[in-house]
Structure 1
């Protein structure tokens, strides 16, 4: 097998009009007194117009830090390296509308250009809206702020857009909610308000960082359906971050499985569920409850994600992998390898596809 990153030989212009964001060798390292903490260590992603890329993995694997890097909001002392190539299309948000490509890593994190992109062309639904919203400003003021920054300078028009957006996300009594504070809303309502604020500027890319966390099952289903419906209506690209494979199956077109700051498997959603190659992906699928295997004990993955600091050479999954071989897997870093079209795996034993039959 030859080493090959996702579409490595193509430039942004050669990929076609459907690719609007490409991430190349993204690294986010935190230089601490104890050493260098590698939260994200060489991630490659491709985001296509109107499609959803799911990013899945255990807590601590680097999913949220990856999303922060895309918006250039990584907290100090984090340092971002690599390339984040955005094809700018939103004239209202400061783009030329001609598809100019800009590398977000090279922009000043507090500069004018990145501020026009952040919240304008790339918006984010944060994991905990109660913490993301300001507690001392009304929902209406906070949604209007995004609209005034990226769409219009007229406050009356901004208010009308905010009201229209709340209606579009199915908020009950939207006029009343605009004048209420975050603590006055239920969890589901706050999540809808967060989605409304993210969508108010008509972004080209929407990052959803575990948007259904702490919501009951009924509200989760409503939020997921809402994101899918708005994606279809606005032709918005979505980066959906979660640890729930059931949600990935429902929401995603392509999937990146992350482990210890790296992408260990990257493919389309059907291949991920019916032909996974990486032992970690297979172990995750085995851990999903199934009616067909209700009499069997659920499998678990022994151990936990290692602390990403001063790591030894070799595969990050080595200590937990049933296929691991000493002197092979723990000698050098494992490259991401192409096993077939649009299917990339970071494993030395990924030649044969898994045929265990676990599906959605």
Structure 2
């Protein structure tokens, strides 16, 4: 398996720090991920764990005073005349090169389309603008492509919708229009940041099916960000569980649901209701995610973990360790169990 043939984007020790008067806010603190062509990487975690900021770092749209560090390598397969990857961190966030990539090769479905769309421009105007920037200079062709992509995402009367404003569309239609704009330039990577938030169950299922269908037809890599583990189970091939700006568990979706290792992942899975539970109370994770500034040493989950050991889990920062083939966990207890098993064997 050649890396350039399968892995399309790689994050190495990516950090997003906000230098404030009170100190350094570490929204993302050393993330390592690999996104594969034609596959879906699910990123899951509580609100405030760094999921959306990670996606902003990929597009280099982190708001000031945020600073992106590390490496974000985009493997373009010779599109720029070379097989060498492009490090997005080294690019000027306002430069031509990143502007060509943003929306063209890497597109994003934002969490709230009502805020992401301009309220004073029609849906068609905004989709056509993206097509003119990345695909063609012909306005008539851009219009035809815009109508075609709206039709592909299941929008009724696409010609009429092209002339309507965001407030004239329902929530489901706005989300479809947002997906259409993201897919209008055939991106290699699609970032979906909680695309089903605030949608009813029927529309949610349609949107998820649409993303899956388009991924299969176009061989697009998808980064699916959500807090809903049910959606992760349906959509993802690989899953990264984030907590306090770090990846605490990273493996394929089947392993995550059938053999989770990190206490935080187990707690998340135990909080999902099931039909067989009868009157049993759901487990809850006590406490809240700590504010990511001036944090003490040790595991970020230490203050909420039922299995934490004083003097061990809070003594030093915990590395992300491969405990089995393709299964990475950031937990000293899991690493200790693995070591003991190896010694016994």
Matched, 1:59 2:42: no
Which residue among 50, 56, 68 is the counterpart of 1:68? 56
Matched, 1:296 2:253: no
Matched, 1:29 2:13: no
The 2-side partners of 1:251 and 1:148 are apart by 31
Name the structure with the higher helix share: 2
The Cα RMSD (Å) is 1.3
Which residue among 202, 206, 227 is the counterpart of 1:218? 202
Residue correspondence of structure 1 range 134-283 to structure 2 within 5 A? 134-283=118-267
Compute the TM-score of the two structures, normalised by the length of structure 1: 0.92
Report Cα offsets for 1:236-285 as digits up to 9, x if no partner: 00000000000000000000000000000000000000000000000000
The 1-side partners of 2:123 and 2:59 are apart by 22
Which residue among 321, 331, 344 is the counterpart of 1:347? 331
The 2-side partners of 1:294 and 1:43 are apart by 39
Q: Structure 1 unaligned runs (5+)? A: 1-12, 354-360
The 2-side partners of 1:250 and 1:146 are apart by 30
Runs ≥4 residues deviating over 3 A:
none
Please name the residue that 1:358 is paired with: none
Compute the TM-score of the two structures, normalised by the length of structure 2: 0.96
For the 8 Å contact 2:40–2:224, the answer to whether it is kept is yes
Q: Name the count of aligned residue pairs.
A: 337
Q: Structure 2 unaligned runs (5+)? A: 339-345
For the 8 Å contact 2:4–2:75, the answer to whether it is kept is no
Which residue among 312, 317, 327 is the counterpart of 2:301? 317
The 1-side partners of 2:41 and 2:78 are apart by 21
For the 8 Å contact 1:90–1:121, the answer to whether it is kept is no
> Secondary structure in 2 aligned to 1:350?
helix
The 2-side partners of 1:16 and 1:206 are apart by 18
